[in-house]
Amino acid sequence: MKQIARNLSDEEDGFLVGKQKLIMDRDSTFCESFRSILSQSDIQPIVLPPRPPNLNAFIERFFRSLKSECLDRMIFFGENSLRNAIKKYLVHYHAERNHQGLDHRIIQPGEEVGQNAGEVECRERLGGLLNYYYRKTA
């Protein structure tokens, strides 16, 4: 487990490079030595409370959206193509996709949101798999 923590926080190619916090559950694999290695890398480990009632529901809903709107419709040729698709989906998810839980609003709306006049444009991501229609700003 210590080696995994060192690999995650490696200064050159570690997964957690540039990250400040790591959220983890109460699994016994996240032992004290694992947390101490993270702390030495200036990464604050945040341990979740025991049995949080709705915590899993939010992440499960996000992963369901990711899978049904993106991943289930594509064939990937390696880890890089998967990572690229997820990055593009995240941009779409935060800046272009309406969310029912937010009264059909966009999480991070751009300046084009709410325009009543102008030509309708389409922004395609992932070869047309994800489309965003908006009015071009004047």
Domain boundaries, the chain: 2-47, 55-135
pLDDT for 75: 92
In angstroms, the first-to-last Cα distance of the chain is 56
Would you place residue 119 in the very low, low, confident or very high pLDDT band (cuts 50, 70, 90)?
confident
Specify the DSSP class assigned to residue 20.
Answer: -
* Cβ atoms 40, 8 nearer than 8 A: no
Segment 29-40, tens digit of pLDDT? 777 777 777 777
- Judge if pTM exceeds 0.75: no
Segment 7-18, tens digit of pLDDT? 565 655 666 677
CA distances from 91 to 5, 54, 108 (A): 29, 25, 10
In 12-89 the beta strands, taken as DSSP E runs, fall at 21-24, 44-47
Report how far residue 123's alpha carbon sits from residue 130's, in angstroms, rounded to the nearest whole number.
Answer: 8
Whose CA is closest to 23, among 52, 56, 46? 46
Mean pLDDT of 97-112: 81
Segment 33-77, tens digit of pLDDT? 777 777 777 778 788 887 777 777 777 888 899 999 999 999 999
Report how far residue 53's alpha carbon sits from residue 46's, in angstroms, rounded to the nearest whole number.
Answer: 17
Which of 2-11, 28-37, 101-110 shows the highest mean pLDDT?
101-110
